[in-house]
Amino acid sequence: MTSVVLSIGSNLGDRLAHLQSVVDSLGEAVTAVSPVYETDAWGGIEQGPFLNAVVLADDSARDPHGWLRRAHELEDAAQRVREQRWGPRTLDVDLVVVRDGAGDSTVEVSVHDDVLTLPHPYAHVRAFVLVPWLAVDPHATLTVAGRPVGVDALLAAVDPAERAGVRGTEHTLRFGATR
């Protein structure tokens, strides 16, 4: 079994519909979806606020590069344009972590090649990833500097102003039996 933690975000067009398209496209692979949060853009580019969420999914047929291909397919379906790093986008789908195995024997997969780095190299400092991830998995861990660290501890180390910038919304994403 291969599981993935996806961080999804949108700040162009129908932001909520773009996020929902990820959940709908992944279908039965989705095991959990966080609440939806609104955040100011990250990366220093002037642009509108994002809606962000985290999606947990399982698919025994996908390896890390398969998950990356699927993420790009989802972005392409939302007509994502890659003109400016950290610029505005209809949909951003980032692989935060991929785990292989089942139950207590899951292991976090590490990848460092020309197209993919896992775990995500910035996830541990981004409140817009950590807050929704904790909401859906309060016992989550992420390997940082070669050791697993609780996502709650990582979030506590993030600048308080950045944590405060992750604002809850009334929006929800439907999945599974709630569709």
Closest CA to 56 of 17, 7, 90: 7
CB-neighbour burial class of residue 127 (10 A; exposed 0-12, middle 13-18, buried 19+)? buried
Q: Other CB atoms closer than 10 Å to residue 163's CB: what's the count?
A: 15
pLDDT digits (tens, 9 = 90+) for 3-44: 999 999 999 999 999 999 999 999 999 999 999 999 988 667
pLDDT at 101: 75
Q: Name the average pLDDT for the chain.
A: 90
Q: Backbone phi, then psi, for 38, in 5-degree steps? A: -110, 140
pLDDT digits (tens, 9 = 90+) for 70-97: 999 998 888 766 666 666 788 999 999 9
Peptide bond into 119 cis (omega under 30): yes
Spans of all domains in the chain: 2-171
SS3 27: helix
What is the pTM assigned to this prediction? 0.91
Closest CA to 158 of 120, 126, 119: 126
The mean pLDDT of 150-165, rounded to a whole number, is 96
CATH for 2-171, among 3.40.50.300, 3.40.50.620, 3.30.70.560, 3.40.1280.10?
A: 3.30.70.560
